[in-house]
Structures are given as C-alpha cells and as structure tokens.
Amino acid sequence: EIVVDKADQIYTHCYCEENIYKLVEKLSCYKDQNLDIYVVFISNGAKMIPIWGHKMDNSVCIWDYHVISVVQNKSDKKTVVFDFDVNDLKFPCDFNAYVTLCFKPEVSLKKEFQRKYRVIKAEDYMKTFSSDRSHMINKKTGLWNAEPPTYDPILHGTSTNNVFDFCCMDPNVDNGLPGSILSESEFFKRYK
C-alpha cells in the first residue's frame, strides 16, 4: 500500500504535469513493491476535456489537458489514482471512484469533448519530460498565466518543452515520446 500525505507533496496550481512529475519521483521508492506506476496525460485534438470534481461545487471544468498518476498492484490489480486537483476524494483514491466522480461515464460527450489518454510508465516520463514553462506565458502580455513553481524547470535531453507533444493524442504522429494512446473505453477497461 502506498502511503502519501497530500499536504507533504510539492504542488503548484495549474502545473499538473510538474506536480505529477514530482510525485512519481517520490513514488519511485515503491517500484520494488509489485506496483506499476504510470503517468497519464488526458487531452484530445480539440484541447477541450471535461473533468468534474476540480471545483468546490464539483461542477465541470474544461481543461486543454490534465495529468494524473495511476498506480496498479500487479497481484490483485487494485488501482488507485493520484490527482492533486480533486476535492472530494482521498489521495490516492480508488480508480472506480475517481472515474465516477471526475469522468462521469454516464454522460454522453460530443466528439470535441471526448477524452483520450496517453499512458506512460513513470520511469519513462521521468527520463523524457521537459518543460521550460514557456507554454504558461501569455503570448499577448508576456506575463505568466499562473505563477510557476519555485524550483528550477525540469529539462531532459535536447527538448526544452515537450508538454504539448505529450498531449498529442493522434496515433499517427510519431513524436518519439513514450506511452500508449488509449480511448476512454480502453483506459477504463485497462484499470477497472
């Protein structure tokens, strides 16, 4: 079992990709405990994905992308989700409880809102993710859309920012990044 106190984690509002990076960095100490640890980018071609439970009243938020971590026990297949932005669930929470609250499978989504999932092994994510945070600078004003984390940017290899490459859910685009792109039904089936 993974014991993590949400209050003890590094968190910066609107930097889910870095929050999850810092989390899986800490979770790497559990890798020998029969667990598969994944990072999951959620997005779509329109960059409009609905997620419930991120506001105090649990109404829907439309994000361009979101990043969570999914951890599965190899023996019993029990799966939990880490999402810093959910209000009404434990941290981590049961996969099925997360899906019910945040994705509302009973809601039929128009095509432009249908979510896709890039599932990446945590160790691969930690070797390849880079963000100089330039995607968070307002192009018109030159100011931050949200204040960046206080630690140095996370940079690997020659890329200075591959956030939107990870968000790309087109299976025909080979951007050289790890991960499998899944439909919502494939994602749910894999972890339920």
What residues act catalytically?
A: 16, 66, 83
Mean pLDDT of 140-156: 97
Between residues 141 and 175, which one has the greater pLDDT? Answer: 141
pLDDT tier, 9 (very low <50, low <70, confident <90, very high otherwise): very high
Structural contact between residues 4 and 92, judged by C-beta atoms closer than 8 angstroms? yes
Residue 158 pLDDT: 86
Residue 1 pLDDT: 72
- pTM for this structure? 0.96
Has residue 131 got a pLDDT over 80? Answer: yes
Residue 190 pLDDT: 95
Has residue 136 got a pLDDT over 80? Answer: yes
Has residue 168 got a pLDDT over 90? Answer: yes
Mean pLDDT of 149-176: 94
Residue 157 pLDDT: 85
Mean pLDDT of 55-82: 93
Has residue 177 got a pLDDT over 80? Answer: yes
Residue 12 pLDDT: 97
Residue 58 pLDDT: 76
Has residue 31 got a pLDDT over 80? Answer: no
- Measure the CA–CA gap between 61 and 103, rounded to whole angstroms: 11
Strand 180-183's sheet: what is its strand order? 93-94, 79-82, 66-73, 35-43, 116-121, 180-183
Mean pLDDT of 128-136: 97
Has residue 51 got a pLDDT over 90? Answer: yes
CB atoms within 10 A of CB 165: 17
